[in-house]
Structure 1
Amino acid sequence: MIKKLTLGGLFIMSFTIISAQQLARVQEKGLVGFIKKDGTFQIEPKYKNAQDQSEGKIAIYEGGKWGFIDKNEHAIIPPQYENAKSFNQGMAMVKSMNGWLYIDSLGQEVPAISSKRVYEFNDGVAFFRDASNLVGLINSKQEVILSPTYDVIRPFKDGYARVAKNKRWGVIDKLGKEVVAPNYDDIGDFNAGLVWAKRQHNWYLVSSQKEIAIPAISKIERIENPDFIIVQQGNKVGFMTAEGKWVISPSYDDARDFQQGLAPVKKNGKWGFIDTTGKMLIPATYQDALSFSPEGLAAVKNGKWGFIDKDAKVIIPFQYEITAALTFKKQEKGFIDGLARVKLNGKWGFIDTKGNLLGNKWFDNAELFQN
């Protein structure tokens, strides 16, 4: 049962929003709850469904309707909606009997700008579409920050979004400013001031100031580190700088990004790790390998998944089925803030860097920790 928010609880709600504790959504026996980083339950599994915590609020499904609570289960907005999305910049999309609409953090309906449909807020902005089917941007105050201009705007990532106009792709920022003009047949995600782009069969590295043609290649991967961009030439991959110069020649079957000075590479069907000079420091003996985390551990597969350190010492035994986590964060796998989400015998849980199971407990499902 949801606890009602008293006047005294208003202070609690405000403090929660300011300093929201990280919680992970877990599922047990078909019911959803939330755990803290010490492995104990903040909210026992009791809801048929719930969204991840966002801005100190949790959308929960109770009694056939959706509403919002805080981490102490105080009712912020009582269950009354057919559906609900998470809060972003103080706004949430909810579905009433009359369709989708916006509400603020107090549950008050926010009159929406005229649009062919209502879009969820992402990175503090939302799309709106006019009668001619062009897309623009609004902020949380329903102010137009970009009039309908593009045929397509993809979701924002780290403040930038891919856009298309007349089937040509470019990049804009959250203010609607064109960072890269829509002059390309395809384009990647803008990161570290750079993006890959393609026109016909030609590939380019593009910043807001210049375009560098990269001849005789077949693919440019996503750009995480502008000093070591993964580029494919023929059926081999290597690493290139933002200036289009090879720093490690294309001699690998596959590769992943450099982290902690090492990058996983695949050669002759096996994975190992090279340093920034291209020297193989950890021999290619694994079935799969992921980049090192800030904790100094990398997930590698040898039948099952385990974790090694930079000296190739096995720190956490090979016993897990998967280390992936579904998220929009850049780092999707392995350790995140000292914990890794893992699967064992069909159950999900979190382990620390010593392999200890958080709370000594497995769940039917578990998502990443969120503020």
Structure 2
Amino acid sequence: MIKRLAFGGLFILSCTFASAQQLARVQEKGLVGFINKDGSFQITPQFKNAQDQSEGKIAVYDGSRWGFVDKDANYIIQPQYVNAKSFSQGMAMVKSASGWLYIDSLGQELKSISSKRVYEFNDGVAFYRDATNLVGLINNKQEVVLPPTYDVIRPFKDGYAKVAKNKKWGVIDNQGKEVVAPNYDDIGDFNVGLVWAKKQNNWFLVSGQKEIALPGISKIENIENPDFVLVQQGNKIGFMASDGKWVIPATYDDARNFQEGLAPVKLNGKWGYIDTTGKMVIPTAYQDALSFSPEGLAAVKDSKWGFIDKNAKVIIPFQYEITAALTFKKQEKGFIDGLARVKLNGKWGFIDTKGNLLGNKWFDNAELFQN
């Protein structure tokens, strides 16, 4: 029997959790398990379904009900739910016969402030709606961070979220503070103190209350580097600084963000790489190309995907697929913390920077490593 509790001291204690080792969810013969970063099984495939590990707990489905296990597959909360989401901020959303609700790490039910429905926690907050049908924010103690104010709040990314009021878009932080007033017809993801926004057919770079109009611009990509913002002028792409001045003219058919001092660019149907001065340092020779990772490798395509270094030397042969299927939750491609998820002959696995297969194992499906 699940007990109903108000949010309070017991819940605060349940929020104290140790950092967990990284595990990757994999599927083999229709069953889900988890591997360590050495490629060994931490949990052998045994569940019909599972969520990614989060806060040292894993939501698992035994074919009948969802429950939660630890990293050794011992049940922390017995299977009893119709559905379950991963833990966040010391709580998880679970679905019982009566609907969705919150539980703490002991499986105790937590009464929700929301009069409509409960939402997953993200960046320390969750949405809630009251009778007005507007949306606001609560923290994991059910304290109101932001009263219901907006018609829409999109999921938070790195502490910021898009919001809409009266069909106009702006940005708030996870304390409910309005970072960019909702004055725009469309808006991007706020990052590095900057965001793109659009009014009618006019594009802007916006930082707080300051906006820079960009006449003649037809598109701006989400911003990763304020010194090199991907901007489209007509049907060509180049890079602008946050002050709206061109740093690399719009001469490319396509381009991706700078990472590790280089950016992939496309000309005449082929991809290569330029440096921050606009000099072509790796000739356009590839069908596709992604940004360089901190490991100094980039995924490039020549019928299949392989990996090159900054001297264009092929380090890992062209033999893989790297585009994740719709079953994957995490779509990041290329090397992440020394490993890249790749597909070969219909199976998924992880390779290191020398092309060695992690654990010498391939799987029917494999998610990225998570804490």
TM-score if structure 2 supplies the norm length? 0.94
SS in 2 for 1:282: strand
Cα displacement (A) at 1:345: 1.1
Aligned residue identity for 1:263: A
1:50 and 2:50 aligned: yes
1:184 and 2:210 aligned: no
For 1:88 and 1:317, how far apart are their aligned partners in 2?
A: 39
Q: In 2, are the aligned partners of 1:17 and 1:57 still within 8 Å (CA)?
A: no
1:350 and 2:350 aligned: yes
The aligned residue for residue 7 of structure 2 is none
Aligned residue identity for 1:261: G
1:229 and 2:239 aligned: no
For 2:310 and 2:329, how far apart are their aligned partners in 1?
A: 26
Cα displacement (A) at 1:22: 0.1
For 1:115 and 1:265, how far apart are their aligned partners in 2?
A: 50
For 2:42 and 2:23, how far apart are their aligned partners in 1?
A: 8
For 1:91 and 1:328, how far apart are their aligned partners in 2?
A: 21
For 1:328 and 1:25, how far apart are their aligned partners in 2?
A: 11
Aligned length: 356
Q: 1:18-77 CA distances to partner (integer Å, 9 max, x unpaired)?
A: 130000000000000000000000000000010000010000112511111110122211
Cα displacement (A) at 1:123: 1.5
The aligned residue for residue 174 of structure 2 is 174
The aligned residue for residue 335 of structure 1 is 335
For 2:122 and 2:128, how far apart are their aligned partners in 1?
A: 12
Q: 1:276-335 CA distances to partner (integer Å, 9 max, x unpaired)?
A: 000000000100000000000000000100000000000000000225585568xx2100
1:315-330 matched pairs, under 5 angstroms: 315-324=315-324, 326-327=328-329
Q: 1:246-277 CA distances to partner (integer Å, 9 max, x unpaired)?
A: 00000000000101110000000100000000
For 2:30 and 2:330, how far apart are their aligned partners in 1?
A: 25
Aligned residue identity for 1:254: D
The aligned residue for residue 298 of structure 1 is 298
Unaligned runs of 5+ in 1: 1-13
For 2:317 and 2:24, how far apart are their aligned partners in 1?
A: 24
For 2:144 and 2:130, how far apart are their aligned partners in 1?
A: 12
SS in 2 for 1:18: coil
The aligned residue for residue 144 of structure 2 is 144
1:85-96 matched pairs, under 5 angstroms: 85-96=85-96
Q: 1:69-96 CA distances to partner (integer Å, 9 max, x unpaired)?
A: 1101222111111100001110110000
Q: In 2, are the aligned partners of 1:305 and 1:323 still within 8 Å (CA)?
A: no
The aligned residue for residue 5 of structure 1 is none
The aligned residue for residue 6 of structure 2 is none
SS in 2 for 1:359: helix
For 2:336 and 2:354, how far apart are their aligned partners in 1?
A: 14
Cα displacement (A) at 1:209: 4.0
Cα displacement (A) at 1:129: 1.1
1:238-317 matched pairs, under 5 angstroms: 238-317=238-317
SS in 1 for 2:66: strand
Aligned residue identity for 1:243: D
Flag the 1:328–1:145 CA change in 2: closer, same or farther, 3 A. Answer: farther
1:102-141 matched pairs, under 5 angstroms: 102-141=102-141
Q: In 2, are the aligned partners of 1:273 and 1:282 still within 8 Å (CA)?
A: yes
For 1:123 and 1:71, how far apart are their aligned partners in 2?
A: 24
For 1:247 and 1:201, how far apart are their aligned partners in 2?
A: 23
1:72 and 2:72 aligned: yes
For 1:141 and 1:355, how far apart are their aligned partners in 2?
A: 46
For 1:292 and 1:251, how far apart are their aligned partners in 2?
A: 21
Q: Which moved more, 1:77-86 or 1:106-115?
A: 106-115
The aligned residue for residue 22 of structure 2 is 22
The aligned residue for residue 365 of structure 2 is 365
For 1:268 and 1:117, how far apart are their aligned partners in 2?
A: 51
Flag the 1:108–1:232 CA change in 2: closer, same or farther, 3 A. Answer: same
For 1:267 and 1:307, how far apart are their aligned partners in 2?
A: 20
Aligned residue identity for 1:202: N
Q: In 1, are the aligned partners of 2:25 and 2:369 still within 8 Å (CA)?
A: yes
Cα displacement (A) at 1:206: 0.4
1:188-227 matched pairs, under 5 angstroms: 188-227=188-227
Cα displacement (A) at 1:114: 3.0
Superposed CA RMSD: 1.5
Aligned residue identity for 2:259: Q
Unaligned runs of 5+ in 2: 1-13
- Tell me the percent identity: 82
For 1:34 and 1:255, how far apart are their aligned partners in 2?
A: 36
TM-score if structure 1 supplies the norm length? 0.94
Q: In 2, are the aligned partners of 1:33 and 1:47 still within 8 Å (CA)?
A: yes
SS in 2 for 1:155: coil
